[in-house]
Amino acid sequence: MQETATTKVSRYRRQPDAGLSRMEILEGAARSFQERGFAGTSIDDVAARIRSTKGRIYHHYSSKAELFFDVYRAGMEMNVAAIEPCLSAPGPADQRLHAMLRAHVRSMIETQAFQRVVWEGVEMLRQNALPEPEHAQLGELAELRHAYAERFRLVMEAARAEGFLAFQHSSIALNTAFMAVNGPVFWYRPREGQSAEEIEKIVDECALYAMRALGWTKDREVYADAEGQ
């Protein structure tokens, strides 16, 4: 079988000794891509950021595109890990969805550099910015986003069936909700001394806007006290 970028990265993940080294590279790459974009970032930039050599990076990745794809993949895996506990939580579907949206916002904040790479990858796919086979690999990565969104859609529809949400078209409703919870990827900036409580307020607000966009019938009941303060 022909080895692709996907199978190569999977092979590295099965090597415990390379785990920390790989994540160090990914974190440095994510911040470099976040600051300069794909076109403006070089392997030299990433190596300088992690105070290493190009050879160390090329030990894992054969090209900048392959490194970019793995940062994208890691960002999506972080999102899935964040919402996974919410999927099996007990209680009504709207509570599960609310928890998923909050977890998603928190992931957007805590892993912002990775999520900016995901969004740049989305735009690059739309603009057909890479040659084959890189464009095809971006298309494969897009399937990770579709599968992730499908988790939300299923819980949304369950909540609507239980009478907690009021929307007509699930795809339109889901895209609208994601506009609210994806916002911190673009506008959030950490402040010195910012407390965990302040971050949770951002999480709560973004998730509330998303639930309202879905016609959440418990909105006023749950947030009446908070809004009256």
φ and ψ of 60, to 5 deg:
-105, -35
Predicted pLDDT of residue 218: 76
Measured CA to CA, the distance from residue 121 to residue 70 in angstroms comes to: 11
Summarize pLDDT for 93-135 with one digit per residue, the tens: 999 999 999 999 999 999 999 999 999 999 999 999 888 889 9
- H/E stretch holding 122 reads helix 112-126
Say what the pTM is.
0.85
pLDDT of res. 222: 52
| Residue that wins the pLDDT comparison between 224 and 56 | 56
Q: What is the pLDDT of residue 113?
A: 97
Closest CA to 52 of 72, 75, 77, 27: 27
Q: Does pLDDT of 17 surpass 80?
A: no
- 108 half-sphere exposure, CB direction, 13 A CA radius: 25
**Backbone dihedral angles phi then psi of residue 53, each to the nearest 5 degrees:** -115, 160
pLDDT per residue as tens digits for the range 47-104: 999 988 888 899 889 999 999 999 999 999 999 999 999 998 999 999 999 999 999 9
Confidence at residue 145, expressed as pLDDT on a 0 to 100 scale: 96
pLDDT for 5:
38
Which pLDDT belongs to residue 176?
96
What is the model's pLDDT at position 221? 56
What confidence score (pLDDT) does residue 220 get?
54
69-228: CATH number: 1.10.357.10
At 155-212, the pLDDT tens digits run: 999 999 999 999 999 999 999 999 999 999 999 998 888 999 999 999 999 999 999 9
